[in-house]
Amino acid sequence: MRPLATAASMAAMDKDTMENFGLPGRILMETAGRESARIISDNFPLRKKSVLVLCGTGNNGGDGWVAARYLLGWGWDIHVLLAGPPEKLSPESRINKTLYEKAGGRVFMAEDAAALKGPEQALFRADLFVDALFGIGLDRPVQGFYAGLMERVKESGGAVVSLDIPSGIHADTGAIQGKALKASHTITFGFAKPGLLLEPGRSHSGKIHVVDIGIPEVISQKYPPRVEQVTKKWAAAQLPKRSAASHKGHFGHLLLVAGAPATRGAAVLAATGALRSGCGLISLAVPETSLPLPGILPEIMVQGLKGDGKGFSSQATENLLPLLAGKSLAAAGPGMGTGKTAAAMLRILLESPLPLVLDADALNLLAQHGDLMDLLSCKKEACVLTPHPGEMARLCGMSVQAVQEDRIRAARDFAMEKDCHLLLKGAATITATPQGLCRIITEGNPGMATGGSGDVLCGIIAGLMAQGKPADTAAPLGAFLHGMAADHLAEKQGPQGYLPSEVAAVLPEIFKSITTGSAWKS
């Protein structure tokens, strides 16, 4: 796992390092600026071209002054634009501005929109802009003079490198605060920030470079991360292991309840995802009116329960009870239906001693029936819910916009309140545990935005849990494998037109690639 730092935790680590460890803030700033200059020099062969460093009055601007001084010393054509009143410079920024000027650096002042129309206009013909306007502490909309300044940078067409975070992006949520710069590279300090991985911040950050600025480990250990990024190394270590003496009974028996007649393909896709994840045995319970199932793999055991033309009939609840015996786990939802019988079947599953994975219709049933939601909160066995933003909004009783504005908070608050594990799908999937630990999965691409993708993911997670993986591992691991398989197909075939069934089919290749380090074959 890659630890991520929120704005608050990063500020606390900085303060603790300076006040209690005794490492001066100027040294942290010097390291940040020097390493930023090195990365800029390594990535942009622009020594003979023009670079404009945009410095705000806070400590993010201080990082910019240091970077400008180093680039100047290395022979770069550097100008610095101080955006804001000089009297508002932070103490560290003031010192580093003076050092830059002593080194022969050129400084231009701009405090209002009128200043951008004067002689300083020529500065915006720069080939590269270094963004040191606002750091991770920004918590208000960018407007007025600063919004105009960002617009001038955008109009120039020059490349942008942002220090710590693109100005205008919220460090914790990735939201645009009024207006934001779009960088081709972001050099972030200490730890990556969640907002760099969450949209729209992710699309504004370009390539992310994480710089060690010298926060001592004894300090960082005092602030365990509440948000992490799933990595390939972690995923490889978590994959279920198989000994030479293994048999199917060692890898779990999943009961999947799904597949009303109109959506029976969802049941097939979920079962296929579970099978491809390595699950030992899969029993798929569908309404008998859904049979035969198109495309069902012969390895999947299909149980036809009493049904009618719309889905499960009332007698199906009696059929379901015997199927619970001997199962490691149950999953429900894909194409299950939302009628009275489906609600009764979900109640049986929630009252059973089996861990659960709930998706699609099962989530809508929870949102519609408060008594089922109460059962979820009281259930001792692990439950994983896998909503997309619309389903999440219904579960929480809030708008989709509110969910998307702070996806981490929405996922964490629900998981902690309902004592469950939650996976919020979307661009950068988020998982949350009942203890409030969140993981971000950046694997995946827009080609996954097609019906059936979520069904496959539900099956993968259920299959991993059936094999003994705890919910707090199976959810992020399943999302990582699902996204990586989709990325493989996008690289091989293009970013659109591949199918969810194909994502499931390439999972064995993904297992091999992350455990052996081998490259995919085209």
User: What mean pLDDT comes out for the span 268-281?
Assistant: 98
The answer on whether 388 is annotated among ligand-binding residues is yes
**What pLDDT score was predicted for residue 114?**
74
**Is residue 345 domain-shared with residue 465, that is, in the same domain?**
yes
The answer on whether 447 is annotated among ligand-binding residues is no
Confidence of residue 520 (pLDDT cuts 50, 70, 90): very low
Q: Distance between CA 256 and CA 462 in Å, rounded?
A: 9
The answer on whether 43 is annotated among ligand-binding residues is no
**What pLDDT score was predicted for residue 263?**
95
The strand pairing partners of 90, in sequence order, are none
Residue 522 lies in a domain: no
Q: Distance between CA 187 and CA 466 in Å, rounded?
A: 41
CATH of the domain at 286: 3.40.1190.20
Per-residue pLDDT of 83-134, as tens digits, reads 999 999 999 999 999 999 999 999 999 988 777 776 567 788 899 999 999 9
Residue 245 lies in a domain: no
The answer on whether 100 is annotated among ligand-binding residues is no
The answer on whether 265 is annotated among ligand-binding residues is no
The answer on whether 131 is annotated among ligand-binding residues is yes
The answer on whether 140 is annotated among ligand-binding residues is yes
Q: Distance between CA 391 and CA 387 in Å, rounded?
A: 5
The answer on whether 193 is annotated among ligand-binding residues is no
**Is residue 220 domain-shared with residue 346, that is, in the same domain?**
no
* pTM listed for this prediction: 0.94
Residue 207 lies in a domain: yes
pLDDT at 518 over 70: no
Residue 350 lies in a domain: yes
DSSP string, 158-203: -EEEEESS-TTB-TTT--B-S-----SEEEEESSB-GGGTSTTHHH
The answer on whether 20 is annotated among ligand-binding residues is no
The answer on whether 70 is annotated among ligand-binding residues is no
- Strands across the sheet containing 50-55: 106-110, 77-83, 50-55, 128-132, 159-163, 185-189, 207-211
**Is residue 217 domain-shared with residue 271, that is, in the same domain?**
no
Residue 246 lies in a domain: no
The answer on whether 260 is annotated among ligand-binding residues is no
Helices and strands: H and E segment counts in the chain: 20, 18
The answer on whether 474 is annotated among ligand-binding residues is no
The answer on whether 31 is annotated among ligand-binding residues is no
Q: Which residues contact 157 (CB under 8 A, 6 or more apart)?
A: none
**What pLDDT score was predicted for residue 486?**
98
The answer on whether 518 is annotated among ligand-binding residues is no
The answer on whether 96 is annotated among ligand-binding residues is no
The answer on whether 266 is annotated among ligand-binding residues is yes
Residue 151 lies in a domain: yes
The answer on whether 42 is annotated among ligand-binding residues is no
**Is residue 290 domain-shared with residue 216, that is, in the same domain?**
no
pLDDT at 371 over 60: yes
Residue 12 lies in a domain: yes
Closest by CA to 471, choosing from 458, 481, 462, is 462
Phi, psi (degrees; rounded to nearest 5) at 78: -115, 135
**Is residue 199 domain-shared with residue 345, that is, in the same domain?**
no
**Is residue 85 domain-shared with residue 138, that is, in the same domain?**
yes
Structural domain range at position 89: 2-226
Range 99-109 burial, b when 16+ CB lie within 10 A, else e:
ebeeeebebbe
**Count of the separate structural domains present in the chain:** 2
Per-residue pLDDT of 142-191, as tens digits, reads 999 999 999 999 999 999 999 999 999 999 999 999 999 999 999 999 99
The answer on whether 118 is annotated among ligand-binding residues is no
**Is residue 72 domain-shared with residue 198, that is, in the same domain?**
yes
Residue-averaged pLDDT of the chain: 95
Angle between helices 471-493 and 507-516 (to 10 degrees): 100
**Is residue 418 domain-shared with residue 477, that is, in the same domain?**
yes
CATH of the domain at 140: 3.40.50.10260
**Is residue 77 domain-shared with residue 214, that is, in the same domain?**
yes
The answer on whether 335 is annotated among ligand-binding residues is yes
Q: Distance between CA 78 and CA 244 in Å, rounded?
A: 64
**Is residue 296 domain-shared with residue 195, that is, in the same domain?**
no
The answer on whether 445 is annotated among ligand-binding residues is no
Q: How do the residues of the chain divide into helix, strand and coil, expressed in percent and rounded to 5?
A: 50, 15, 35
Residue 278 lies in a domain: yes
Per-residue pLDDT of 442-480, as tens digits, reads 999 999 999 999 999 999 999 999 999 999 999 999 999
**Is residue 221 domain-shared with residue 265, that is, in the same domain?**
no
**Is residue 186 domain-shared with residue 148, that is, in the same domain?**
yes
Per-residue pLDDT of 392-424, as tens digits, reads 999 999 999 999 999 999 999 999 999 999 999
The answer on whether 429 is annotated among ligand-binding residues is yes
